[in-house]
Amino acid sequence: MYKVNDNYLKLPGSYLFSTIGKKVNAYAAAHPDSRIIRLGIGDVTQPLAPAIIKALHSAVDEMGDAATFRGYAPDLGYEFLRNAIADNDYKARGCEISADEIFISDGAKCDSGNIQEIFSLDNRIAVCDPVYPVYVDTNVMAGRTGVYDPQKEIWSNVIYMPCTQENDFVPCLPKETPDIIYLCFPNNPTGSAITKEQLQEWVDYANRVGAVIIYDAAYEAYISQEDIPHSIYECQGARTCAIELRSFSKNAGFTGVRLGFTVIPKELKAGDVSLHSLWARRHGTKYNGAPYIVQRAGEAVYSEEGKAQLREQVAYYMKNAAYIYQGLKDAGYTVSGGVNAPYIWLKAPRGMSSWEFFDYLLENANVVGTPGSGFGPSGETYFRLTAFGSYENTVEAVERIKAL
């Protein structure tokens, strides 16, 4: 008789955003006249930029003509896209990353979930607390996290690195030594950023203790301040300790288009085993590449036209972020984030828990946010709002909250 992967059964409850979806649907069904504004899940709302639409149409036409039709993509992605990424995201910032160290995928969620597969089950992970749930959940599913404590909502074999007001939501080096360190900056969910100097400490630490950093830079397009690194490879020594994950979801609105990439420098080795070759093997065996038309859309992100249009799109969302930040501050909330990230992190008022504040906002302002406790125990009493709504909705949501 076949048996299931018991690790799946250890996962408590269901995925954060599914729970939110169910609560919102139930509320909407009970209150059909309410106009709910969703500033919860990090989904974008602005349409794809004209340069991207043009590239998509053109690639679709190629697929309709035998002379230009494309079948299976190269395992690791088309060179035109990998070259555009290497030039624009790395060479232009002085980072030494070559096109063949870039692996095109269908998004950073998949990559951040799959990357743990190339590591031993014996490895111990360290995560920020609060944290994007995918890092922990996918390690639970693999069997790397030990026993769950439902009271404390923590796993026995995970090193949690609290990110709180005290440390400005940037974790301190952990007391216990991890093997794999997940870092995400600009941060989801707190909206905090890490300075180049702070990140250099992490790189030095990882090289010193023999840990690998999985650096999720999905939100780098939102960085507005000078001393905030866009890539971990801006730090000395990162090529021997860091994997970087990138997404097109937030800088180019590709949440429904699906495109991302992972960077693994060739120097990144455990003994004589290169992580680059393991990930290449995984891609070749379990994946068949991102769609050709989507890779052409990704290329358009780096065209002059595309870059100009997307700067405007990011500015649009950051105007929302600034509006939420200032509005909540004016209303007396304790607020952070929103300067180098599209997320605003606020403290629930009057001692409310995160979920209490979720229900309170949903019921009294018809505004949906994300409970901070859903991201980890140190997120309790915090709450995340995103800047990805329309400007009109964002303004209305803030006015409704201020009026409470």
Q: Which C-beta is closer to a copy of itself: that of 205 or that of 360?
A: 205
Choose the stretch contacting a copy of itself; rule: CB under 8 A; options: 24-32, 150-158, 289-297, 314-322: 289-297
Give burial (CB, 10 Å; 0-12/13-18/19+) of 243: buried
Q: Does 335 participate in binding a copy of itself (rule CB under 8 A)? A: no
Query: What are the φ/ψ torsions at residue 12 (nearest 5 degrees)?
Result: -75, 140
Around Cβ 65, how many Cβ atoms within 10 Å? Answer: 8
The pairing of strands 335-337 and 180-184 is unpaired
Given candidates 39, 48, 397, 401, which one binds a copy of itself under the rule CB under 8 A?
Answer: 48
Q: Which residues, including other chains, have CB under 8 Å from residue 149's CB and lie 6 or more apart?
A: 155, 156
Copy the structure tokens of residue 295.
Answer: 């890779």
Q: What is the Cα–Cα distance from 297 to 328, expressed in whole angstroms?
A: 37
Number of other CB atoms surrounding residue 288 within 10 Å = 11
CB of 68 closer than 8 Å to CB of 74: no
CA distances from 24 to 31, 43, 236 (A): 10, 16, 46
Site string for a copy of itself, 93-122 (x = CB under 8 A): -------------xx-xx--xx--xxxxxx
Asked whether the beta carbons of 27 and 363 are under 8 A apart, the reply is yes
The Cα–Cα gap between 10 and 24 comes to 26
- Applying CB under 8 A, the span of 156-164, 225-233, 250-258, 332-340 interacting with a copy of itself comes to 250-258
126 is an interface residue for a copy of itself by CB under 8 A = no
Eight-state DSSP code of residue 86: I
Q: For the window 356-385, what string marks contact with a copy of itself as x by the rule CB under 8 A? A: ------------------------------
Contact pick of 85, 232, 257, 264 for a copy of itself (by CB under 8 A): 257
Q: Counting contacts by CB under 8 A, is residue 80 touching a copy of itself?
A: no
The residue within the footprint of a copy of itself, chosen from 36, 141, 352, 395 (CB under 8 A), is 141
Of 23-31, 95-103, 274-282, 394-402, which segment contacts a copy of itself by CB under 8 A?
A: 274-282
Closest to a copy of itself by CB, 247 vs 366, is: 247
Closest by CA to 161, choosing from 142, 141, 185, is: 185
Q: 26 or 273: whose CB is closer to a copy of itself?
A: 273
Q: Which of 270, 322, 331, 352 binds a copy of itself (CB under 8 A)?
A: 270
**How many residues bind a copy of itself, per CB under 8 A?**
82
| Contact window for a copy of itself (CB under 8 A) among 187-195, 222-230, 249-257, 362-370 | 249-257
Compute φ and ψ for 270, nearest 5 degrees.
-105, 105
Nearer to a copy of itself, 169 or 388 (CB): 388
Residue 305 as a binder of a copy of itself (CB under 8 A): the answer is: no
Tell which positions 172-201 bind a copy of itself, by CB under 8 A.
179-180
